[in-house]
């Protein structure tokens, strides 16, 4: 009966109106993005880009309140979990004390951070060195290129690995193996000489992982057997190349993990021929693999380390270079050798200093190695039950899942990985009555590898959730 009083909207009607409002707002933002935002500064590979509005721990949240378990954590920039209270508070304290200062002046946080990193490197590698800061990984790579060119009397050629990735500035692109990143920008006369990485799953059949590692070292060493191999002048004992840029575990290349004997053999060849080893720890540093630096697993002493990403847990851009004293002392690398307005900025150095203290106080090595082994066991179980999983591997919390066509579990399947990423964004994977999304990242030589860089703070329950969600996702795409 109509008594003249307005009726309260039902809960369903309110929810429907809310969903419609959220959808309209998202459509408005995507329309603006399509018209005014460059795609050149974002990945933009998915058909329907996702807009997130919140984050906590291991999860991203959208405006509708959907929870997405993040298994890539901003390309390993947020190792210590989203909105980490200790690191967030360090940023807030710095904002209220010294939020800005020109890089030509000093501040406590920069000095203490540099000393902490340099002293740690000296204790581990037995080499005194110094730390130089910048704002992004590629910029730090550029600074390292200046260091090694300066130290080698201007030699501008470098070795690097097939599958290696060091950034997309012009200098970093020259030592990154993908021609895709150089193609539109003219000729790169100083492009690196790219050497095969021991990618055992797709290496020659009949070799163990260690044998393949030795084979790759031998193939590199043969370049120095004769002047006619193009890199070495035996009459004066000089190489044409200044340095070899390495990722101990390949990042964008698909988290490929070399055999433990590989880098010792490679470093001997480099040392014998006066070539520096520059280790890119931008993605694998800060306990991603269970060590502060991933190169620590392989028993060699680097000449230069380049770092970034997780040093500030993604809160403020900061990167840097550690180099041996002979390469970076002020007499050989004086003031003004390189510069960035925001290098060593106090917000970044304050958070990084707190992060370093946190890593020193807590046993991240034991924790990460235990969680990584547990996660890898779950992935191996998935491999047994899903033909689309060709290989799984991991070191610490850097893990890989190589997705292949189900008929042979070997032929790379980019189509399935693309589908997985799109399906993960739907937030309709259901576990124990709750719906989740999955944030995944694609890597690999054939773009068929799911590279997993979950939060180091991830709980065992969240690892179990990740395995269950991946299990459901694999089943869905295999039948699509």
Q: Tell me which residue has tokens 């939020």.
A: 99
Q: Which stretches within 190-324 are classed as H helix?
A: 209-221, 262-272
The phi and psi torsions of 450 (rounded to 5 degrees) equal -85, 115
Q: Enumerate residues 6+ apart whose C-beta is below 8 A from 163.
A: 177, 197, 199, 250, 252, 253, 254, 256, 445
Q: Count other C-beta atoms under 10 Å from residue 442's C-beta.
A: 21
Nearest in space to 70 (alpha carbons), one of 456, 475, 357, 479: 456
The pTM of the full predicted model, rounded to 2 decimals, is: 0.96
CB 375 within 8 A of CB 463: yes
> Rounded distance, CA 477 to CA 218, Å?
41
d(CA 429, CA 431) in angstroms, rounded, equals 7
443 vs 453: CA distance, rounded Å: 12
- With helix as H, strand as E and coil as C, how does 130-181 read? EEEEECCHHHHHHHHHHHHHHHCCCCCEEEEECCCCCCCCHHHHHCCCCHHH
Which residues on neighbouring strands pair with residue 239, listed in sequence order?
A: 232
Torsion of CA 120, 123, 129, 130, to 10 degrees: 20
Give the phi and the psi of residue 181 in degrees, each rounded to 5: -80, -10
The structure tokens listed for 141 are 């790579």
Q: Determine the pLDDT at residue 44.
A: 77
Q: At what angle do helices 414-424 and 460-478 cross, to 10 degrees?
A: 120
- Cα–Cα distance measured from residue 197 to residue 161, given in angstroms and rounded to the nearest whole number: 6
C-alpha to C-alpha distances, 439 to 359, 397, 466, 471, nearest whole angstrom = 26, 16, 10, 15
- Name which of 116, 140, 141, 143 is nearest 130 in CA terms: 116
Of 304, 184, 309, 314, nearest to 252 (Cα)? 309
pLDDT at residue 359, as a whole number: 98
Tokens of 277: 């080893």
Residue 401's Cα: distance from chain center in Å?
Answer: 16
Residues whose CB is less than 8 angstroms from the CB of residue 48 and which lie 6 or more positions away in sequence, other chains included: 422, 425
DSSP state for residue 333 in the 8-state scheme: S
**pLDDT tens digits, the chain, 480 residues: what are they?**
455 555 555 778 888 888 899 999 999 999 999 999 998 888 777 777 899 999 999 999 999 999 999 999 999 999 999 999 999 999 999 999 999 999 999 999 999 999 999 999 999 999 999 999 999 999 999 999 999 999 999 999 999 999 999 999 999 999 999 999 999 999 999 999 999 999 999 999 999 999 999 999 999 999 999 999 999 999 999 999 999 999 999 999 999 999 999 999 999 999 999 999 999 999 999 999 999 999 999 999 999 999 999 999 999 999 999 999 999 999 999 999 999 999 999 999 999 999 999 999 999 999 999 999 999 999 999 999 999 999 999 999 999 999 999 999 999 999 999 999 999 999 999 999 999 999 999 999 999 999 999 999 999 999 999 999 999 999 999 987
Q: What does the buried/exposed string (b/e) look like for 354-377 if buried means 16 or more CB atoms within 10 Å of the residue's CB?
A: bbbebbeeeebbebbbebbeebbe
Provide the H-helix boundaries in 4-157: 11-36, 73-76, 85-95, 108-125, 137-151
The DSSP letter of residue 291 is S
């Amino acid at each position: 009966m109509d008594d003249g009083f307005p009726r309260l909207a039902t809960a369903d009607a309110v929810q429907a109106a809310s969903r419609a409002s959220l959808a309209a707002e998202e459509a408005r933002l995507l329309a603006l993005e399509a018209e005014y935002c460059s795609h050149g500064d974002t990945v933009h590979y998915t058909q329907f880009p996702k807009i997130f509005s919140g984050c906590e721990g291991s999860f991203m949240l959208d405006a509708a309140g959907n929870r997405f378990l993040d298994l890539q954590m901003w390309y390993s920039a947020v190792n210590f979990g989203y909105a980490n209270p200790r690191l967030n508070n360090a940023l807030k304290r710095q904002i209220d004390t010294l939020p800005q200062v020109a890089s030509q002046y000093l501040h406590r946080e920069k000095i203490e951070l540099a000393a902490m990193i340099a002293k740690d490197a000296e204790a581990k590698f037995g080499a005194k060195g110094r730390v130089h800061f910048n704002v992004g990984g590629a910029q730090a790579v550029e600074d390292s290129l200046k260091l090694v060119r300066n130290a080698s009397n201007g030699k501008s050629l470098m070795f690097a690995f097939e599958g290696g990735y060091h950034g997309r500035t012009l200098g970093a692109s020259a030592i990154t193996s993908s021609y895709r990143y150089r193609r539109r920008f003219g000729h790169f006369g100083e492009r690196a000489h790219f050497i095969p990485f021991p990618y055992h799953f797709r290496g020659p059949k009949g070799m163990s992982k260690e044998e393949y590692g030795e084979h790759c070292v031998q193939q590199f060493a043969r370049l120095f057997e004769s002047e006619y191999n193009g890199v070495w002048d035996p009459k004066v004992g000089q190489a044409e190349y200044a340095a070899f840029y390495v990722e101990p575990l390949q990042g964008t290349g698909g988290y490929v993990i070399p055999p433990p004997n590989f880098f010792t053999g490679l470093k001997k060849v480099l040392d014998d021929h006066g070539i520096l080893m520059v280790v890119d720890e931008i993605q694998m540093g800060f306990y991603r693999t269970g060590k502060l630096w991933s190169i620590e697993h392989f028993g060699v002493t680097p000449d230069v380390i380049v770092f970034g990403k997780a040093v500030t847990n993604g809160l403020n851009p900061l990167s840097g270079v550690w180099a041996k004293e002979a390469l970076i002392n002020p007499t050989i690398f004086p003031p003004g050798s390189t510069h960035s307005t925001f290098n060593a900025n106090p917000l970044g150095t304050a958070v990084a200093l707190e992060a370093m203290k946190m890593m020193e106080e807590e046993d991240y090595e034991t924790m990460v190695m235990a969680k990584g082994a547990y996660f890898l066991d779950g992935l191996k179980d998935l491999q047994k039950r899903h033909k689309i999983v060709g290989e799984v591997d991991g070191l610490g919390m850097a893990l890989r899942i190589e997705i292949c066509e189900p008929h042979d579990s070997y032929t790379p399947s980019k189509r399935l990985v693309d589908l997985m990423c799109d399906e993960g964004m739907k937030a309709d994977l259901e576990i124990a009555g709750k719906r989740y999304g999955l944030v995944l990242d694609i890597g690999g030589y054939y773009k068929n590898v799911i590279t997993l860089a979950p939060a180091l703070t991830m709980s065992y329950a969240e690892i179990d959730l990740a395995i269950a969600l991946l299990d459901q996702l694999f089943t869905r795409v295999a039948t699509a």
